[in-house]
Structure 1
Amino acid sequence: LSANNKVKFFDGSMQEHPSSHPLHATWRRCNNVMVSWLVHLVSPSI
């Protein structure tokens, strides 16, 4: 995670920007990457 600069998404220090903020789309894209990683890492048997 630190290699991809994504630790803040897990430790809670990266908060979602309001939709009017210029970085909202960037935040949303990174968040979607993190969700995708989690979905694909979790075992279906859980």
Structure 2
Amino acid sequence: MRIGLFPGSVPGQLLDLESTVVQGVSAEADGFDSFWVPHLSNGDLTV
């Protein structure tokens, strides 16, 4: 099984680019297979 992370999907949580990169590097070091980054910081447009 491959497990990845999707940070930034928590409403109200805004991360700058540097923080996102640090999280991605940490995820890779911890052995996660993927790191997805949302392109919208607000609600889901499909709802």
| TM-score, scaled relative to structure 1 | 0.37
**Higher relative strand content:** 2
| TM-score, scaled relative to structure 2 | 0.36
Larger Rg over CA atoms: 1
**Higher relative helix content:** 1
Q: Which has the higher contact order (CA 8 A, sep 6+)?
A: 2
